[in-house]
Amino acid sequence: MKTFPNIRLFQIEHIHAPRDFHVVQHAHACLEIGAGKGKHALGFAAKHPQLHLLAIERTAEKYQAFLKQYQAAPLSNLSPIHADAIAWSVHGLKPQQLEQIFILYPNPEPKNPAQRWLNMPYFEFLLSRLQDGGSITLASNIPDYIAEAAAQCQQVWKLPFVQETIPKHFARTHFETKYLERGEPCSQLIITKPQGYATRFDEFDKTV
């Protein structure tokens, strides 16, 4: 008998496709949620030509800045996407399609903790899109945010992880650069999806 996370079911039937939606299918795909102005996305794609990064940004101003840099030096293994990450992933990703997921310096949602990524029922769906053995990198400059996410990994999601202090020379995103220059303690969780990990969305495929 399969054991699923003890969290309410993500209401997938209420999620509509984004405007001007189209599927981007690639082998060896990775996903970045909240790509901002694209600093990490552009650097990651340049360093990992064997991987294809789907980089999603919802905010129009940040996406346009990202797109401008991408168009100046386009990379064939990078797809900038202007959309809500939840809606796009529900309609655009297949089960176990992703090798890596990056959530770097997300909004900590101080007034609405239920909207933090590991607190949302959506996180179960996101796990279903990740390959067995795949990883999720979650970075923040807020120690309590990382501590809560670590507790959720242990108590709700039953996922192994490693917590790391981010070195001062790192500068993957504009936020990371700013925080480290200020001397703020930045850290990350590297979360791994074990072999045979089950979700209630493992057979769900809107892309068919």
Do the domain assignments include residue 60? Answer: yes
Note the pLDDT tens digit of each residue in 31-55. Answer: 999 999 999 999 999 999 999 999 9
The per-residue pLDDT for 208 is 67
pTM of the prediction? 0.95
Secondary structure (3-state) at 189 = strand
Beginning with the edge strand found earlier in the chain, give each strand of the sheet holding 29-33 in spatial order.
Answer: 78-82, 52-57, 29-33, 98-104, 130-140, 187-192, 161-165
The per-residue pLDDT for 3 is 73
CATH number at 118 reads 3.40.50.150
Tell me the residue range of the domain where 92 lies.
26-159+171-187
Do the domain assignments include residue 195? Answer: no
Do the domain assignments include residue 13? Answer: no
pLDDT under 50 in the chain at which residues? none
Do the domain assignments include residue 114? Answer: yes
Do the domain assignments include residue 205? Answer: no
Count of the separate structural domains present in the chain: 1
Note the pLDDT tens digit of each residue in 55-78. Answer: 999 999 999 999 999 999 999 999
Region of residue 196 (left: phi > 0; alpha: psi -120 to 50; beta: else):
left
